[in-house]
Amino acid sequence: MTMPERFERTVTVWLRDEAERPFPDLLDALLERTTTTRQRQWWSSPERWLPMDTTYRANALLRPGFSRALLIAALVLALVGAVLVVGSRQTRVPAPFGPADNGHILYSANGDIFIADADASHPRVLVSDPADDYAPVLSHDGTRFVFFRFTGSSDEFDVLAANVDGSDVRTLTPAPMNQPFFADWSPDGSDLLIAHGRDGVSGISILATDGSRRLRDLPTNGLSIDAPVWLPPEGREIMFRGSLVSITGLYAIGADGSGLRNIALDRPDNSRPYYGPHISPDGTRVTFWNDQAVDASEQHPEDHKSEVHVLDLSTGKDLRIGYDPASRHELEPRFSPDGRSILMVRFTVDPDAASLVLASADGSDGAGRQIGPPMDWQSSGSLESPSIEFSPDGHKVLLSFGADRRIQIVDVATGAVQDGDYGDFVIWQRVAR
């Protein structure tokens, strides 16, 4: 029997039984309440905004014999309506992957977690503590976030969670974690994967987000781990960049720790591959950059050139995208929320600057197009690792160069740049459309 059928049968029986019972005498209680309760203000009654003939109902409608049953039925219907209204007001959440609307912006500054409006205005402290807090990471549904609290001991942090309004702050880790440097929520929000220092190399652990403090390590056979993420859409596997001695590749492992497998290994041309892997929203492709060895020159003083690729995980097809022969480096790629475009950073020699570039994920638009003005990235001291985030709707880009510089929001269509607060580890909340 379905839930609606059970509900309908229960209400029918209840109405019949209640109609046969004597109506309770509530007059005394009613008088007591009305003599101690002030009259409602005139504006609180919608009936006062309407003509009298739209609200008046003749007493002839309440014929003897079924007035009590009709009153009870009305009460039940009102109760059911209230339940439906409350249910309809429950917070809607977006799907874990793909485009969503832009919510608040979260970031860390001065050892606290801050929140600002979607346009970077009205910054305010969200979580404050005498200890230093860093790097908020929002869940895919935008309702919760985790952050890292420095314990005061060298390179050790607790992982804490909170609701997006800053309430219900709680510690998730059973003990401080050594050198955590990467975190990603599972699609359903039940677990958090964390890359951190472990046994002299970096490894992956899965941490429950329900407050039970369950933590388990994934067996990665001695591989040094970087950039682990849950593979969309179900999150049954975790993809990561792994290195062992001089061999680097992309790997996947089951969320239960089984089935460690190789996705792609070093290419035969001896490039340094698979930096900064980012998975597409549908889980079918991964974008990354390679450092291709080249002869030292004025254009390439580092003896290598960075180039952006997209790898199809099912066919193994490797496509270079956004290529500009005059560039010095192209790096830091990530997919747009709809998976159609790749955002990257392009460094040039003349002028000596860096720019955001948007290119088609299928390579159909060649070198792509520049977004916004060139930027002085090197002055931040974090040339290879600025924080770059698409807005959930894909129409804007968040830039952060560290806590000593302002957050910037770049409009993808117009290139207009808007400054926000000083902050680091910036992330944009996803909300339902």
Percent of the chain at pLDDT exceeding 70: 76
Is 399 among the domain residues? yes
**389-416: average pLDDT:** 93
What pLDDT score was predicted for residue 245?
81
CA dihedral 51, 53, 55, 59 (to 10 degrees): 160
User: Residue 389 above 50 pLDDT?
Assistant: yes
| Residue 40 lies in domain | 3-88
What pLDDT score was predicted for residue 48?
27
Query: Which domain CATH number covers 364?
Result: 2.120.10.30
Is 147 among the domain residues? no
pLDDT band (50, 70, 90) for residue 118? very high
Do 305 and 418 fall into the same domain?
Answer: yes
Tokens encoding 55: 């609200």
Do 254 and 387 fall into the same domain?
Answer: yes
What is the H or E stretch that residue 71 is in? helix 67-88
Which residue from 288, 293, 220 is spatially nearest to 260, judged by alpha carbons? 220
Do 84 and 196 fall into the same domain?
Answer: no
What pLDDT score was predicted for residue 385?
59
Tokens encoding 180: 């955590």
Is 133 among the domain residues? no
What are the φ and ψ backbone dihedral angles of 291, each rounded to 5 degrees?
A: -100, 100
User: Residue 29 above 80 pLDDT?
Assistant: no
User: Residue 25 above 90 pLDDT?
Assistant: no
Residue 212: exposed, middle, or buried by beta-carbon count in 10 A (0-12, 13-18, 19+)? exposed
User: Residue 133 above 80 pLDDT?
Assistant: yes
User: Residue 309 above 90 pLDDT?
Assistant: yes
Contact call for residues 97 and 140 (beta carbons, < 8 A): yes
Q: Which amino acid does the sequence have at 193?
A: L
What pLDDT score was predicted for residue 407?
93
Tokens encoding 372: 């916004």
What are the φ and ψ backbone dihedral angles of 317, each rounded to 5 degrees?
A: -65, 130
Tokens encoding 212: 């039970």
Instruction: Report how far residue 296's alpha carbon sits from residue 304's, in angstroms, rounded to the nearest whole number.
Output: 8
Which tens digit of pLDDT belongs to each residue from 197-232? Answer: 987 889 999 999 999 999 999 999 999 999 999 999
What pLDDT score was predicted for residue 274?
93
Which residue from 167, 169, 168, 152 is spatially nearest to 111, judged by alpha carbons? 152
pTM attached to this predicted model:
0.77
Which tens digit of pLDDT belongs to each residue from 52-101? Answer: 332 223 333 333 444 555 445 555 555 445 444 444 445 689 999 999 99
Q: Residue 380 CB: number of other CB atoms within 10 A?
A: 15
Please give the residue that has the higher pLDDT: either 341 or 292. Answer: 341
> Which of the listed residues 66, 88, 110 is the one where a domain comes to its end?
88
Which residue from 112, 164, 151 is spatially nearest to 133, judged by alpha carbons? 112
pLDDT band (50, 70, 90) for residue 105? very high
Instruction: Report how far residue 405's alpha carbon sits from residue 168's, in angstroms, rounded to the nearest whole number.
Output: 30
User: Residue 262 above 50 pLDDT?
Assistant: yes
User: Residue 263 above 50 pLDDT?
Assistant: yes
> Which of the listed residues 36, 68, 88 is the one where a domain comes to its end?
88
User: Residue 264 above 80 pLDDT?
Assistant: yes
Which tens digit of pLDDT belongs to each residue from 6-23? Answer: 333 333 333 334 334 343
Is 131 among the domain residues? no
Tokens encoding 347: 């460094």
What pLDDT score was predicted for residue 348?
85
Tokens encoding 268: 């035969």
Contact call for residues 103 and 393 (beta carbons, < 8 A): no
What pLDDT score was predicted for residue 299?
79
User: Residue 28 above 80 pLDDT?
Assistant: no
User: Residue 336 above 80 pLDDT?
Assistant: yes
pLDDT band (50, 70, 90) for residue 352? confident
Instruction: Report how far residue 369's alpha carbon sits from residue 332's, in angstroms, rounded to the nearest whole number.
Output: 16
Do 383 and 258 fall into the same domain?
Answer: yes
Which tens digit of pLDDT belongs to each residue from 268-301? Answer: 555 778 999 999 999 999 999 998 888 878 777 7
Which residue from 189, 147, 183, 185 is spatially nearest to 166, judged by alpha carbons? 147
Instruction: Report how far residue 349's alpha carbon sits from residue 353's, in angstroms, rounded to the nearest whole number.
Output: 7
Mean pLDDT (the chain) is 80
Instruction: Report how far residue 160's alpha carbon sits from residue 145's, in angstroms, rounded to the nearest whole number.
Output: 8
Three-state SS for 109-148 is ECCEEEEECCCCCCCEEEECCCCCEEEEEECCCCCEEEEE
For the chain, the domain total comes to 2
Is 100 among the domain residues? no
What pLDDT score was predicted for residue 244?
87
Which residue from 227, 137, 140, 217 is spatially nearest to 177, judged by alpha carbons? 217
Is 53 among the domain residues? yes
Is 124 among the domain residues? no
What pLDDT score was predicted for residue 379?
44
The gap between the terminal CA atoms of the chain, to the nearest Å, is 34
Rg of the chain's alpha carbons, rounded to an integer? Answer: 29
CA dihedral 312, 231, 101, 143 (to 10 degrees): -170
What pLDDT score was predicted for residue 154?
82
What pLDDT score was predicted for residue 49?
29
Which residue from 276, 193, 198, 293 is spatially nearest to 241, judged by alpha carbons? 276
pLDDT band (50, 70, 90) for residue 349? confident
What pLDDT score was predicted for residue 404?
85
Do 384 and 257 fall into the same domain?
Answer: yes
User: Residue 125 above 90 pLDDT?
Assistant: yes
> Which of the listed residues 70, 88, 106 is the one where a domain comes to its end?
88
Which tens digit of pLDDT belongs to each residue from 138-157? Answer: 999 999 999 999 999 888 99
Q: Which amino acid does the sequence have at 410?
A: V
Is 410 among the domain residues? yes
What pLDDT score was predicted for residue 74?
53
